[in-house]
Amino acid sequence: MAGIPGPDDTLRAELANGIVVYARANPTSPSVVIAGYLPTGALLEPKEQTGLAAFTATMLTRGTKDYTHQAFYETLEGMAATLAVQAHTHTTSFRGRSLAEDLPTLLHLLAQALRWPTFPPDEVEKRRSQLLTQLAVRMQDTAARAADAAHAALYPNHPYGRTLHDLERGIKAIHRDNLVAFHQRTYGPRGLVLAVVGAVDPEDALAHVQRALGDWDVDRPPPAPPLPDVQLPPREVRREVTLPGKSQADVVVATIGPSRWAKDYLPAALGNSILGRFGMMGRIGEAVRERAGLAYYAYSSLSGGMGPGPWDVIAGVAPENVPRALDLIRAEIQRFVDEGVTAEELADVQSQAIGSLPLEMETNAGVASALLHIERYHLGLDYYRRYPDLIRSITPEDVHAAARRYWHPGRWAIGLAGPPRGHAQEDA
């Protein structure tokens, strides 16, 4: 497929300090994108300091050894460039963009942020205030609170189940010294992956990365602790969050889904498209929104990351419609498990998945994301060349088996958030 990266047009190299570099030229673009990740994230923070990884990541560009916060962003603005760092559960990611001639400066700024942040005390307090303001907004968002409640119930005593309340408490409790210590303990070149895509020769891109990061020589981050085992609840678990003054309720029905490493991830992903995504809404949307007229939106979402993340069915409804919407969602999941999918449904989502691939690779950012995905999950540089055949090889029986493996009706977690409807298990 034209434009799809593969081993013939993409460089992969490993620096002496362990950094893995991907580089691919795009001569039709005047710009270049850098994207990557380090294997440090929320798994390495204590629960009482939930948010430490995220707080640390957002501070990296707010003052470094050679730049004040203002000077850092003035340098970026002077090049019409961008650079951002964000922490997740398993990783901390970064992404930047600039004109090709400014790539050395962009990589220099990235090295400053990753290696030599200074965590200025005044900037720490400004950022804390911003994070708490953002959290206050999320605390009043019915969709965020319903998902938060469902996942806390599905993943008790597990990093995937940490709540917005945990995050709020953590952000308030974290001191500057905690940020400095977390950075010193968990940031290093081991496991760092960086992709450079755009108007630059791959060998030149590799040389630029070597100059910026090749002398970073520390033995970290430490290995992340193993994820705790997860099990579905023996029966339906339901948590409701009351948000006075809201006119809408959100419903999330969640099960434990496959990780991206699972052999049946792709069948599950195609099944998810049929259940709640293809044609905008899929079976869930057709039943709850189109036929019954109960929902503003209704769809399903499969996380499929480094661990067994949630597989959610989500709907936004009027509060009085919650019981009926839940009944319809339960019925559609039951049908998905009992009957599987039809050959016609599968053929439609297979065509959509294959047809959308070139569109995802039209931008430098899309290609960079694909290269990172290849490295993170050990898929091989020819993965996206093989992808159409992999998708075509999946059968209705494969999808049905995945549906039965991950969805067990009656053994799921339900999160509800909206205005008062009687007794609630958790208040805002």
Boundary of a domain, candidates 160, 180, 213: 213
Nearest-Å Rg of the Cα atoms of the chain is 23
* CA separation, residue 130 to residues 55, 143, 278, 385 (Å): 11, 21, 37, 43
In this structure, are 281 and 423 located in the same domain?
A: yes
CB 147 within 8 Å of CB 182: no
User: 64-73, 95-104, 215-224: which range is least confident on average?
Assistant: 215-224
Mean pLDDT within 71-80? 98
Predicted local distance difference test score (pLDDT) of residue 424: 41
Place of tokens 């007229």: 293
Q: How many CB atoms lie within 10 A of CB 379?
A: 16
- Is residue 228 predicted with pLDDT exceeding 50? yes
Beta strand spans in 82-192 (E) = 82-87, 92-99
CA 206 – CA 368 distance, rounded (Å):
14
In this structure, are 282 and 356 located in the same domain?
A: yes
Mean pLDDT within 24-51? 96
In this structure, are 204 and 153 located in the same domain?
A: yes
Predicted local distance difference test score (pLDDT) of residue 421: 72
Residue 230 falls within a domain, yes or no? no
Residue 278: pLDDT band (50, 70, 90) is: low
User: 221-230, 238-247, 262-271: which range is least confident on average?
Assistant: 221-230
In this structure, are 122 and 44 located in the same domain?
A: yes
Residue 88 falls within a domain, yes or no? yes
Contacts of 244 (CB under 8 A, 6+ apart): 419, 420, 428
Q: What is the CATH number of the domain that holds 65?
A: 3.30.830.10
Predicted local distance difference test score (pLDDT) of residue 220: 80
CA 6 – CA 278 distance, rounded (Å):
28
Predicted local distance difference test score (pLDDT) of residue 427: 47
- Is residue 224 predicted with pLDDT exceeding 90? no
CA 304 – CA 125 distance, rounded (Å):
35
Residues 146-177 have pLDDT tens digits of 999 999 999 999 999 999 999 999 999 999 99
Mean pLDDT within 240-269? 97
In this structure, are 170 and 317 located in the same domain?
A: no
Residue 292 falls within a domain, yes or no? yes
- Is residue 249 predicted with pLDDT exceeding 60? yes
Residue 232 falls within a domain, yes or no? no
Residue 425: pLDDT band (50, 70, 90) is: very low
Residue 397 falls within a domain, yes or no? yes
In this structure, are 286 and 330 located in the same domain?
A: yes
- Is residue 289 predicted with pLDDT exceeding 70? yes
- Is residue 422 predicted with pLDDT exceeding 70? no
> Which tokens belong to 373?
């995905």
In this structure, are 206 and 258 located in the same domain?
A: no
CB 311 within 8 Å of CB 256: yes
Predicted local distance difference test score (pLDDT) of residue 86: 98
Q: For residue 359, which phi and psi values (nearest 5 degrees)?
A: -65, -40
In this structure, are 141 and 46 located in the same domain?
A: yes
> Which tokens belong to 365?
């950012």
In this structure, are 209 and 296 located in the same domain?
A: no
In this structure, are 193 and 313 located in the same domain?
A: no
How high does pLDDT run on average in the chain? Answer: 95
User: 17-31, 34-48, 216-230: which range is least confident on average?
Assistant: 216-230
In this structure, are 206 and 247 located in the same domain?
A: no
Residue 224 falls within a domain, yes or no? no
Residue 1 falls within a domain, yes or no? no
In this structure, are 269 and 416 located in the same domain?
A: yes
CA 282 – CA 285 distance, rounded (Å):
5
Mean pLDDT within 250-274? 98
Closest by CA to 55, choosing from 140, 3, 129, is 129
CA 35 – CA 94 distance, rounded (Å):
6
CA 124 – CA 247 distance, rounded (Å):
36
> Which tokens belong to 68?
């004040």
Predicted local distance difference test score (pLDDT) of residue 223: 87
Mean pLDDT within 381-408? 98
- Is residue 10 predicted with pLDDT exceeding 80? yes
Residue 225 falls within a domain, yes or no? no
Q: How many CB atoms lie within 10 A of CB 416?
A: 27
CA 313 – CA 403 distance, rounded (Å):
13
Q: How many CB atoms lie within 10 A of CB 293?
A: 8
Q: What percent of the chain has pLDDT over 90?
A: 94
pTM score of the predicted model: 0.94
Residue 222: pLDDT band (50, 70, 90) is: confident
Boundary of a domain, candidates 168, 197, 213: 213
For residue 154, give the 3-state DSSP assignment.
helix
Mean pLDDT within 294-304? 94
What domain range is 245 assigned to?
A: 237-427
Domain count, the chain: 2
> Which tokens belong to 298?
């209704």
